C-alpha cells in the first residue's frame, strides 16, 4: 500500500466546527469522531435530531418505510394516503429492479397510487376517501395485498389507516395493512425502517407454512436490489447450491415474505434498516442471523464461506471455495488493471446506514484510502457495534416508534442449531446475531461523521482535496462543481450492479473511469492562466 | 410490459389517483425561490419534504439545489414549529450566509396552523435576522392546487415582499416568465434586449440552475434577480406576465399595489404565442422589431413549410402543466397536428376554457381534462392510439409499452439533458422543439419503413 501523509484528523474536526453557533458546534462535535487507537475513544452521537436550518442529507420516516423497505416489493399494491407529493417523489426514483415471474405476473412498481388528499379531507377527515381508493384499486388490479402509507397530515388529523385497513381487508378478503409512517416521526428515514419491519412482521411473515423444497435455506435481509445487486447474488447462491427463500426486499414478492419463516438462517446486509426483522424472526421462529457483506470481492468471499460453514456440509464448503477461486481470477485481473491509477488516492463516503461501511472494502481493494466516512441515518450500533445496544438511551424522538413485543411461537419456534454446531461456529470465528459496526474497521486518524451537513461536506472537500466523494443525488453536483467526482451510492449513478464478484469488477472500473476521465483536466480554458496574470498585472 | 395492469376499459375513479400528472406546492416555491440571487429556499416542515424536493429538482437540473429545512419532529408537530424556525434562521444566516431566505410551508406546518409571518417578525425582533438580510415567506399547503400553485404563490410573495417602488416611473418593464427552464428565461431576456427594452425578470433561474463547471462550487451562483432590481419593480411601465397559471397572481398584485399595468400572455411557445409576445413588447420599445427577430421567425416558418408533410394529421397526446399545454397545443395546431388528448393534473376550469378556444374547431375530437392523471391518458391511448406522446419523463413508460414516438417536455425530465440548455420559447425555441418532434417522427418512419421504402432524402 502506497504511503500517504494525511492531515491531522483532529485539526480537521476543529475546522469543521469553527463557523457554527456555539450550541450547534457543541452538538455537532459529538457527531464527529476522530478514529483513534483506543477503542473507548471511538464513540459517536447518532440517531438524534438534526439541528433545524442545517442542510442535511436526511429524509423522513415515510421515505424510510415506503421508499426503502416496501418500495422494492412488486406485488403489494401501495397506496399513499396524503397530498400528492409524497407519492410522486417516491415513484420509481430508487432504482429497485425487479423481475416478475412471468409477463402477466403482478408488478405495481411502475405505478403510483395516492389518495391525493385535498383541503376537504384535511378539514373533514380522509378515511372515507381512503376506503374508496382501496375499493377502486381492488376493482382495477385485484392485488393479493395492499399497503397503506400515512403521510404527515394523516397523523395530524387523526385518520386511522389501521382501522380502515382492517375494515377493507374484511370486506375484500385480501390482506390489507397500514403503516403509520408520518414524515415527522423519528429523526430520519430510520424510524420508517422500523415501522416497515414491524408491519411486515405482524401482517405478512409467517402466513404460509408450506414446507420449502431445497437445501441450505436462508433469507437475505436488507438487500434492496439497486442496479441489480440482488440478481448477482441470486445467481451466486443458486450456483453454489443454496436456496434463497426470500429477500427483504429487493426483487421480492408477497408470497416469498409469507413463507420466509421457514428458512434456517437470515443473512443481514443492511443492518440498520432490517435488523429489527432479523431479531424478531430469531425470537419468534428461532432463526439465527448472520451479518454479512457482499460489497467487495474479499468480503463477498468471506461472507460466502461463513454461509457455507453455517450449514457445515463439507461438499458445500468445497463448492463455495471452488466458486470463489474461479471468480477471484477475474477480480484480480481487473484489480491489477486499475490499481496503479488509483493507489493512494483519497475517498470520503457519507451515505445511508450501511453503505458507508460496506463500500470501504471496495476502496481498500483498489488501494484507495478512506479518510472519512459516516452515515445519514444510522444508530450508534452501526458505528460502534451491537455491543453498545445495552447502554443505549432512547430519547423522546425514538420512544414513540413502536417496539413490538415478540415471543416464541408455541408451535413454530424451532432452534436451528445444536449446542455442538454453535460451538463449532464459535471456534471458526463466526458470530451469530452480531455486528461489529463501521468504526472498528476504520484506520486511525480518519474521521467518522454522523449526519454530515452541507457545510461540513464543503469543508472536507477543501481540506482533504479527495479524489472521490461518495454520497447521494442532493450532494452529487455540488461536489462535482469543485472538480471532484461524486459517486452516488444510493442510485449508483444509474450503473451497477456492484455486489458480489462481478459487481466488484464493475465498481473498480467505474471508479477508475470517474477519477481518471479526461474532462477534469479540461475545466479551465487554455487562456485562463494568461488572462489571470494580465488581470493581476493591470490591477497592481 | 411495464404498465401491464392498465386496462383499456375506463371505469370512473373518484378517490384513487394513479400516476399523477402533478406534484405538490412546495417544490414550485423552491424553484421560484432559486430565481432570486443569493437566496436560500427554506422548507418549514419535516425533513423529508425538503429532501424530496431537492432530489426531484436535482434529477431534473443535474445541478446542486440548495435548500434548508425546519426539521420538524413529532414534538414540533404537537407544539408548533416556531422554535424550529427561529433556530433555523439563526443557523442559516450564521452558517450559509444568504442575502435572502424564502420560506414556504408544507402540509404539516399548514395543518397545525403555524403562523409563519408572525414567526418571522419575532425573528426580526429577537435579532435572529441580520440587519442587511431579508426573509420572505409564502403559504404552500400541499393539499391545495399543485406544484404550479406553489410556484405562483412564491412569485406573488416575492413581488409583494421584496418589491418596491418610488412613484417615479422608469424606462423599464417587468417580465414574469412563468415556470420555464433557465434557457427559456435567458431567451426571453435576449428577445427583450433585441427589442431594446430594459427589463427586470423575476424569478430568473438562468445562471442558477444551469451554472457552468468552473472547478469551484458556489453556493449562490451568479444568476437570479437581485434585491435592488426587485426594489424597483414598482417603478416599471408595465408587467408582462407569461402563463396565466404561474404568473398572473403576481402581476395583478403588482398592479394593485404599485399601479403597474399588467398584460397576461400565454407562454411564448410556438409561432403565434411568440408573435403575441413580441407584439406586446412593441409599444414599450422605441425600436421597430429588429430584422434579427424577423429572421428568426422566418426561419421557423420556413422549417414548418419545408417539413409540413410529416406533421399534418398526426395525432398527439400531451400531459403536463397548464401554461405549457395551452401554448404547445396551439403550436401543434399551427403545425396541422392534432392534439387529441390533453391532460393536466392541476385543477383549473380556465384551462378547459382556453383549450376549448384552441381546439374546439381545429380538433373537435380532442379530449381535454384537468385534475386528472397519466393513467387515464394511457387508457385513452389504448382505446385509440396516437402518433406522438409529449410529456415528462414518466411518459417513457407509456411510450415504450404502446410503442409511440415520445418527446420529453415539461417537469421533471430525469433521463435526458438539453431541456435546461436549449430554450423552447421564442422562434428559436420553436425551431428546436419542432426539430425534436420531427426527429422522433422521422426516426419512427425510418425504423418501420420496408427496405424498398427506406428513404435517403426526407
Partners of B100 in the β-ladder = B39, B134
Q: Are A192 and A172 in contact (CB under 8 A)?
A: no
* A330/A341 Cα distance (integer angstroms): 18
B58 and A473: CB-CB below 8 Å?
yes
Q: Using one digit for the tens of pLDDT, what is the confidence trace for A472-511? A: 999 999 999 999 999 999 999 999 999 999 999 999 999 9
Contacts of B1 (CB under 8 A, 6+ apart): A103, B401
Using a CB-CB cut-off of 8 Å, the residues of chain B touching A377 are: none
Locate CATH 3.40.50.1980 in chain A.
61-183, 217-338+390-427
Active-site residue numbers of A? 60, 63, 94, 193
CATH 3.40.50.1980 fits A61-183, yes or no: yes
pLDDT at A40: 65
Superfamily of domain A217-338+390-427: Nitrogenase molybdenum iron protein domain (3.40.50.1980)
Residue A138 near chain B (CB below 8 Å): no
A 371-430: CB under 8 A from B:
396-397, 400
Q: Are B300 and B437 in contact (CB under 8 A)?
A: no
Best residue in B6, B58, B74, B119 for a mutation probing chain A (most A CBs within 10 Å): B74
Residue B157 near chain A (CB below 8 Å): no
| Closest-CA distance of chain A to residue B143, Å | 5
Using a CB-CB cut-off of 8 Å, the residues of chain A touching B69 are: 52-53, 55-56
Contacts of B393 (CB under 8 A, 6+ apart): B408, B412, B413, B414, B415, B416
Q: What is B258-305 written as a DSSP string?
A: H---EEEE---BSHHHHHHHHHHHGGG-SSPPPHHHHHHHHHHHHHHH
- The chain B residue lying nearest A119, using CA atoms, is B143
Residue extents of the structural domains in chain B = 25-162, 173-290, 292-452
Q: Where are the alpha helices (DSSP H) in A59-126?
A: 61-62, 84-89, 119-124
- The chain A residue lying nearest B209, using CA atoms, is A477
A332-341 long-range contacts, Cβ below 8 Å, gap at least 24? Answer: A334/A504, A334/A505, A334/A508, A334/A509, A335/A297, A335/A365, A335/A366, A335/A508, A337/A508, A337/A512, A338/A366, A338/A508, A338/A509, A338/A511, A338/A512, A339/A366, A339/A367, A341/A512, A341/A515, A341/A516
* B387/B423 Cα distance (integer angstroms): 24
- DSSP 3-state of A116: coil
Domains B25-162 and B173-290 share a fold: yes
| ipTM attached to this prediction | 0.98
Q: Using one digit for the tens of pLDDT, what is the confidence trace for B27-62? A: 999 999 999 999 999 999 999 999 999 999 999 999
Looking from the CA of B449 toward its CB, the CA atoms found within 13 Å total 13
Q: Using one digit for the tens of pLDDT, what is the confidence trace for A122-140? A: 999 999 999 999 999 999 9
pLDDT at B174: 98
- What average pLDDT does this structure show over B324-347? 98
What separation in angstroms does the CA of B128 have from each of A105, B94, B131? 58, 10, 9
* CB burial readout A132-152, b (16+ within 10 A) else e: bbbbbbbebbebebbbbbbbb
Farthest CA pair distance, chain A: 88
* A244/A184 Cα distance (integer angstroms): 36
* B157/B173 Cα distance (integer angstroms): 19
A21 and B48: CB-CB below 8 Å?
no
- Picking from B73, B74, B88, the nearest residue to A53 by CB comes out as B88
pLDDT at A29: 98
* B119/B107 Cα distance (integer angstroms): 17
B248-251 long-range contacts, Cβ below 8 Å, gap at least 24? Answer: B248/B152, B249/B152, B249/B153, B249/B155, B249/B156, B250/B152, B250/B155, B250/B156, B250/B158, B250/B159, B250/B176, B251/B174, B251/B176
Q: What is A299-312 written as a DSSP string?
A: HHHHHHHHHHHHH-
pLDDT of B154 over the 80 cut: yes
pLDDT at A529: 87
* B369/B353 Cα distance (integer angstroms): 11
CA angle A534, A537, A538 (to 5 degrees): 85
Q: Are A249 and A72 in contact (CB under 8 A)?
A: yes
- The chain A residue lying nearest B147, using CA atoms, is A85
* B457/B445 Cα distance (integer angstroms): 12
- Picking from B52, B111, B214, the nearest residue to A523 by CB comes out as B214
* B76/B93 Cα distance (integer angstroms): 22
Q: Where are the alpha helices (DSSP H) in A379-499?
A: 380-384, 396-399, 419-427, 454-464, 473-480
Using a CB-CB cut-off of 8 Å, the residues of chain A touching B79 are: none
pLDDT of B72 over the 80 cut: yes
pLDDT at A37: 80
Q: Using one digit for the tens of pLDDT, what is the confidence trace for A433-456? A: 999 999 999 999 999 999 999 999
- DSSP 3-state of B316: strand
B23 and A117: CB-CB below 8 Å?
no
Looking from the CA of B291 toward its CB, the CA atoms found within 13 Å total 0
Q: Are A483 and A520 in contact (CB under 8 A)?
A: yes
* CB burial readout B224-240, b (16+ within 10 A) else e: bbbbebbebbbbbbbbb
Q: Using one digit for the tens of pLDDT, what is the confidence trace for A35-62? A: 998 766 799 999 999 999 999 999 999 9
The CA-to-CA distance between both ends of chain B, in Å, stands at 33
Query: In terms of Cα–Cα distance, which of B388, B372, B400 is closest to B340?
Result: B388
Best residue in A24, A49, A85, A143 for a mutation probing chain B (most B CBs within 10 Å): A85
- DSSP 3-state of A394: coil
Strand order in the sheet with B262-265: B199-201, B173-176, B238-242, B262-265
- What average pLDDT does this structure show over B410-419? 98
pLDDT of B172 over the 80 cut: yes
Strand order in the sheet with A243-249: A243-249, A217-223, A266-268, A289-291
B54 and A474: CB-CB below 8 Å?
yes
Q: Tell whether the torsion through CA atoms of B106, B108, B113 and B117 is positive or negative.
A: negative
Looking from the CA of A175 toward its CB, the CA atoms found within 13 Å total 17
What separation in angstroms does the CA of B8 have from each of A143, B61, B369, B375? 18, 35, 18, 10
pLDDT at A536: 85
Residue B58 near chain A (CB below 8 Å): yes
Backbone dihedral angles phi then psi of residue A24, each to the nearest 5 degrees: -65, -45
Count CB pairs under 8 A between chains A and B: 267
* A292/A306 Cα distance (integer angstroms): 8
Taking each helix axis from N to C end, the angle separating B244-258 and B322-334, rounded to the nearest 10 degrees, works out to: 120
CA angle B426, B431, B437 (to 5 degrees): 125
Backbone dihedral angles phi then psi of residue A499, each to the nearest 5 degrees: -85, 155
**Beta strand spans in A48-150 (E):** 76-81, 113-114, 145-150
Give the right CATH number for B25-162 from 3.40.50.1980, 3.40.50.300, 3.30.2000.10, 3.50.50.60. 3.40.50.1980
Backbone dihedral angles phi then psi of residue B173, each to the nearest 5 degrees: -125, 155
* A260/B43 Cα distance (integer angstroms): 41
- The chain A residue lying nearest B107, using CA atoms, is A153
Identify the band that residue A1 occupies on the pLDDT scale cut at 50, 70 and 90: low
Rg (CA), chain B: 23
Q: 3-state DSSP helix/strand/coil percent for chain A, to nearest 5?
A: 50, 15, 40
**Beta strand spans in A101-162 (E):** 113-114, 145-150
Q: Using one digit for the tens of pLDDT, what is the confidence trace for B201-213? A: 999 999 999 999 9
Q: Before B31, cis peptide (omega within 30)?
A: no
* CB burial readout B241-268, b (16+ within 10 A) else e: bbbbbbbbbbbbbbeeebebebbbbbbb
Q: Tell whether the torsion through CA atoms of A259, A260, A263 and A264 is positive or negative.
A: negative
- Picking from A60, A90, A106, the nearest residue to B46 by CB comes out as A60
Mean pLDDT of chain A, nearest integer: 97
Using a CB-CB cut-off of 8 Å, the residues of chain A touching B55 are: 89, 93, 472-474
* B273/B244 Cα distance (integer angstroms): 13
* B96/B133 Cα distance (integer angstroms): 12
Q: Are A448 and A442 in contact (CB under 8 A)?
A: yes
Q: Using one digit for the tens of pLDDT, what is the confidence trace for B231-250? A: 999 999 999 999 999 999 99
- The chain A residue lying nearest B42, using CA atoms, is A53
Q: Are B284 and B193 in contact (CB under 8 A)?
A: no
Contacts of A487 (CB under 8 A, 6+ apart): A468, A469, A470, A493, A510, A511, A514
- What average pLDDT does this structure show over B399-418? 98
User: What CATH architecture is B292-452?
Assistant: 3-Layer(aba) Sandwich (3.40)
Residue A67 near chain B (CB below 8 Å): no
Farthest CA pair distance, chain B: 80
Give the right CATH number for B173-290 from 3.40.50.300, 3.40.50.1980, 3.30.465.10, 1.10.1200.10. 3.40.50.1980
pLDDT of A5 over the 90 cut: no
* A252/A145 Cα distance (integer angstroms): 13
pLDDT of B71 over the 70 cut: yes
* B101/A166 Cα distance (integer angstroms): 45
Report the percent of chain A where pLDDT is more than 90. 95
Amino acid at each position: 500500500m502506497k504511503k500517504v501523509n494525511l492531515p491531522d484528523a483532529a485539526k480537521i474536526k476543529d475546522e469543521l466546527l469553527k463557523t457554527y453557533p456555539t450550541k450547534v458546534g457543541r452538538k455537532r462535535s459529538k457527531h464527529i469522531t476522530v478514529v483513534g487507537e483506543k477503542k473507548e475513544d471511538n464513540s459517536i452521537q447518532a440517531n438524534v435530531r438534526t439541528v433545524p436550518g442545517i442542510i442535511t442529507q436526511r429524509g423522513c420516516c415515510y421515505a424510510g418505510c415506503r421508499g426503502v423497505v416496501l418500495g422494492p416489493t412488486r406485488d403489494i399494491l401501495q397506496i399513499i394516503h396524503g397530498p400528492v407529493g409524497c407519492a410522486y417523489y417516491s415513484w420509481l426514483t430508487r432504482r429497485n429492479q425487479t423481475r416478475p415471474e412471468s409477463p402477466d405476473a403482478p408488478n405495481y412498481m411502475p405505478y403510483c397510487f395516492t389518495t391525493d388528499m385535498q383541503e376537504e379531507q384535511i378539514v373533514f377527515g380522509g378515511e372515507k376517501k381512503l376506503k374508496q381508493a382501496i375499493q377502486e384499486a381492488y376493482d382495477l388490479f385485484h392485488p393479493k395485498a395492499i399497503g397503506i402509507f400515512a403521510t404527515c397530515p394523516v397523523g395530524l388529523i387523526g385518520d386511522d389507516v389501521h382501522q380502515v385497513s382492517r375494515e377493507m381487508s374484511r370486506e375484500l378478503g385480501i390482506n390489507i395493512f397500514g403503516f403509520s409512517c408520518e414524515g415527522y416521526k423519528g429523526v430520519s428515514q430510520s424510524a420508517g425502517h422500523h415501522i416497515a419491519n414491524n408491519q411486515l412482521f405482524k401482517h405478512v411473515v409467517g402466513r404460509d407454512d408450506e414446507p420449502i423444497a431445497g437445501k441450505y435455506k436462508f433469507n437475505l435481509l436488507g438487500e434492496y436490489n439497486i442496479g441489480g445487486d440482488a440478481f448477482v447474488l441470486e445467481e451466486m447462491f443458486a450456483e453454489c447450491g443454496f436456496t434463497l427463500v426470500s429477500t427483504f426486499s429487493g426483487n421480492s414478492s408477497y408470497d416469498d415474505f409469507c413463507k420466509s419463516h421457514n428458512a434456517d438462517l437470515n443473512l443481514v446486509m443492511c443492518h440498520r434498516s432490517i435488523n429489527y426483522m432479523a431479531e424478531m424472526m430469531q425470537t419468534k421462529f428461532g432463526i439465527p442471523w448472520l451479518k454479512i457483506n457482499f460489497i467487495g470481492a474479499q468480503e463477498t468471499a468471506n461472507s460466502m464461506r461463513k454461509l457455507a460453514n453455517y450449514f457445515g456440509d463439507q461438499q458445500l464448503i468445497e463448492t463455495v471455495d471452488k466458486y470463489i477461486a474461479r471468480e477471484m481470477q477475474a477480480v484480480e485481473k481487473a484489480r491489477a488493471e486499475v490499481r496503479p491509477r488509483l493507489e493512494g488516492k483519497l475517498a470520503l463516503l457519507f451515505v445511508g446506514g450501511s453503505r458507508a461501511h460496506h463500500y470501504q472494502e471496495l476502496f481498500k481493494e483498489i488501494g484507495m484510502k478512506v479518510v472519512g466516512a459516516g452515515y445519514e441515518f444510522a444508530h450508534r450500533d452501526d458505528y460502534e457495534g451491537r455491543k453498545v445496544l445495552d447502554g443505549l438511551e432512547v430519547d423522546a424522538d425514538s420512544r414513540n416508534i413502536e417496539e413490538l413485543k415478540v415471543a416464541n411461537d408455541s408451535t413454530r419456534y424451532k432452534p436451528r442449531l445444536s449446542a455442538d454446531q454453535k460451538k463449532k461456529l464459535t471456534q471458526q470465528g463466526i458470530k451469530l446475531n452480531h455486528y461489529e459496526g463501521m468504526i472498528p474497521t476504520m484506520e486511525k486518524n480518519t474521521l467518522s461523521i454522523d449526519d454530515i451537513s452541507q457545510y461540513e461536506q464543503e469543508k472536507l472537500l477543501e481540506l482533504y482535496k479527495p479524489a472521490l466523494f461518495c454520497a447521494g443525488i442532493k450532494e452529487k453536483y455540488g461536489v462535482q462543481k469543485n472538480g471532484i467526482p461524486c459517486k452516488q451510492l444510493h442510485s449508483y449513478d444509474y450503473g451497477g450492479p456492484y455486489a458480489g464478484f462481478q459487481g466488484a469488477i464493475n465498481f473498480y472500473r467505474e471508479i477508475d473511469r470517474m477519477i481518471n476521465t479526461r474532462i477534469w483536466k479540461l475545466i479551465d480554458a487554455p487562456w485562463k492562466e494568461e488572462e489571470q496574470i494580465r488581470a493581476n498585472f493591470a490591477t497592481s | 410490459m411495464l404498465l401491464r395492469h392498465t386496462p383499456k376499459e375506463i371505469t370512473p375513479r373518484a378517490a384513487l389517483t394513479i400516476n399523477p400528472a402533478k406534484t405538490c406546492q412546495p417544490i414550485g416555491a423552491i424553484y421560484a425561490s432559486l430565481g432570486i440571487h443569493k437566496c436560500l429556499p427554506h422548507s418549514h416542515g419535516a425533513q423529508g419534504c425538503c429532501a424530496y424536493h431537492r432530489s426531484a429538482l436535482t434529477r431534473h437540473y443535474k445541478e446542486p439545489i440548495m435548500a434548508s429545512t425546519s426539521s420538524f419532529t413529532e414534538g414540533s408537530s404537537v407544539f408548533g414549529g416556531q422554535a424550529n424556525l427561529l433556530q433555523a434562521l439563526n443557523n442559516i444566516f450564521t452558517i450559509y450566509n444568504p442575502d435572502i431566505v424564502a420560506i414556504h410551508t408544507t402540509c404539516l406546518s399548514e395543518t397545525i396552523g403555524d403562523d409563519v409571518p408572525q414567526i418571522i417578525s419575532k425573528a426580526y425582533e429577537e435579532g435572529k435576522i441580520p440587519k442587511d438580510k431579508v426573509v420572505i415567506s409564502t403559504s404552500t399547503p400541499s393539499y391545495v392546487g399543485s406544484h404550479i400553485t406553489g410556484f405562483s404563490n412564491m412569485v406573488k410573495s416575492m413581488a409583494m415582499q421584496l418589491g418596491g417602488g418610488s412613484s417615479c416611473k422608469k424606462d423599464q418593464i417587468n417580465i414574469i416568465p412563468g415556470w420555464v427552464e433557465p434557457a427559456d428565461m435567458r431567451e426571453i431576456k435576449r428577445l427583450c434586449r433585441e427589442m431594446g427594452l430594459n427589463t427586470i425578470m423575476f424569478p430568473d433561474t438562468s445562471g442558477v440552475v444551469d451554472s457552468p463547471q468552473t472547478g469551484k462550487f458556489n453556493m449562490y451562483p451568479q444568476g437570479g434577480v437581485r434585491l435592488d432590481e426587485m426594489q424597483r419593480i414598482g417603478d416599471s411601465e408595465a408587467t408582462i406576465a407569461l402563463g396565466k397559471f404561474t404568473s398572473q397572481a403576481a402581476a395583478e398584485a403588482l398592479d394593485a399595489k404599485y399601479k403597474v399595468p399588467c398584460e397576461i400572455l400565454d407562454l411564448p411557445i410556438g409561432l403565434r404565442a411568440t408573435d403575441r409576445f413580441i407584439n406586446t413588447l412593441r409599444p414599450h420599445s422605441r425600436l421597430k422589431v429588429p430584422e434579427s427577430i424577423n429572421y428568426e421567425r422566418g426561419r421557423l416558418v420556413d422549417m414548418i413549410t419545408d417539413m409540413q408533410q410529416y406533421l399534418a394529421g398526426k395525432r398527439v397526446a400531451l400531459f403536463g402543466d397548464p401554461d405549457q399545454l395551452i401554448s404547445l397545443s396551439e403550436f401543434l395546431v399551427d403545425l396541422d397536428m392534432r392534439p387529441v388528448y390533453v391532460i393536466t393534473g392541476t385543477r383549473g376550469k380556465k384551462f378547459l376554457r382556453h383549450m376549448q378556444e384552441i381546439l374546439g374547431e381545429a380538433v373537435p375530437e380532442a379530449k381535454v381534462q384537468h385534475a386528472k392523471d397519466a393513467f387515464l391518458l394511457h387508457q385513452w391511448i389504448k382505446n385509440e392510439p396516437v402518433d406522438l406522446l409529449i410529456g415528462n419523463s414518466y411518459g417513457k413508460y407509456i411510450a415504450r409499452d404502446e410503442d409511440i414516438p415520445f418527446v420529453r417536455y415539461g417537469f421533471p425530465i430525469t433521463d435526458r439533458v438539453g431541456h435546461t440548455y436549449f430554450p423552447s420559447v421564442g422562434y428559436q425555441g420553436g425551431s428546436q422543439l419542432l426539430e425534436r418532434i420531427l426527429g422522433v417522427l422521422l426516426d419512427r418512419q425510418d425504423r418501420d419503413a420496408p427496405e424498398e421504402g427506406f428513404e435517403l432524402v426526407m
